[in-house]
Chains A and B, each alone.
Chain A
Amino acid sequence: QVQLVESGGGLVKPGGSLRLSCAASGFTFSDNYMSWIRRAPGKGLEWISYISSRGSTIYYADSVRGRFIISRDNAKNSLYLQMNSLRADDTAVYYCAVHYRGNSCLDYWGQGTLVTVSS
């Protein structure tokens, strides 16, 4: 069965950096597009970044463009999110998800990892 397991969250000071990982199994990772999505406390879901199957196409939300970098290692079945210049409003649970059925659909989600940005 499809499994997505995020790791790397934690407490970081404003201006700091953090790297999230997402380990994928149960499907052909290298064939599928992936996204990172977050949910801040008391807020809704916010899509933040997308990467195509080979990494040739990447998109970011305006809120993170220039600060976050998405990448993937298909040999390791892993997705990454390098987060720099973190701000308090980046505090959220971060989820990775796989697009099985096209760009509009996030078919499976990981359990999420909590990132807290606070001094």
Chain B
Amino acid sequence: HSVLTQPPSVSAAPGQKVTISCSGNSSNIGNNYVSWYQQLPGTAPKLLISENNRRPSGIPDRFSGSKSGTSATLGITGLQTGDEADYFCGAWDSRLSGVVFGGGTKLTVL
């Protein structure tokens, strides 16, 4: 089972907003940056959010990240059918000396 905890699935209608939570502890999220990744079907993961809330070049501002204590949240507004994907949170874990991921959240745009 994964070190970080995410809901297995979320869904919303096109144009709506969705949030995906990610819960950890002081060894990972509590004292290290959180990143978010999008994996579209049949493709490699892609960085969406770095350093808790920074969008790399080319990532639309429909995607946002936040962190509070040992939890983080990914927000997606103006949902599109092309956003259907698996979303993963990740962080460095200082106790395990490695990257830890959430189990992933499958987003369905109804």
Q: A44-B103, A47-B99, A95-B45 are in contact. Are A107 and B37 (CB under 8 A)?
A: no
Given A102-B51, A104-B99, A106-B47, 13 further pairs, Cβ under 8 A? A44-B104, A45-B90, A45-B101, A47-B100, A95-B45, A101-B33, A101-B51, A104-B33, A104-B51, A106-B45, A109-B47, A110-B44, A111-B44
Cβ-neighbour of A45 out of B33, B43, B51, B88 (below 8 A):
B88
Question: Are A109 and B35 closer than 8 Å at their CB atoms?
Answer: no
Interface residues of B (CB under 8 A from A): 2, 32-35, 37, 39, 43-47, 50-51, 56, 86, 88, 90-92, 97-104
Q: What secondary structure prevails in chain B residues at the interface with A?
A: strand
CA distance A61 to B96 in the complex (A): 8
| Number of residues of chain A lying within 8 A (CB) of chain B | 25
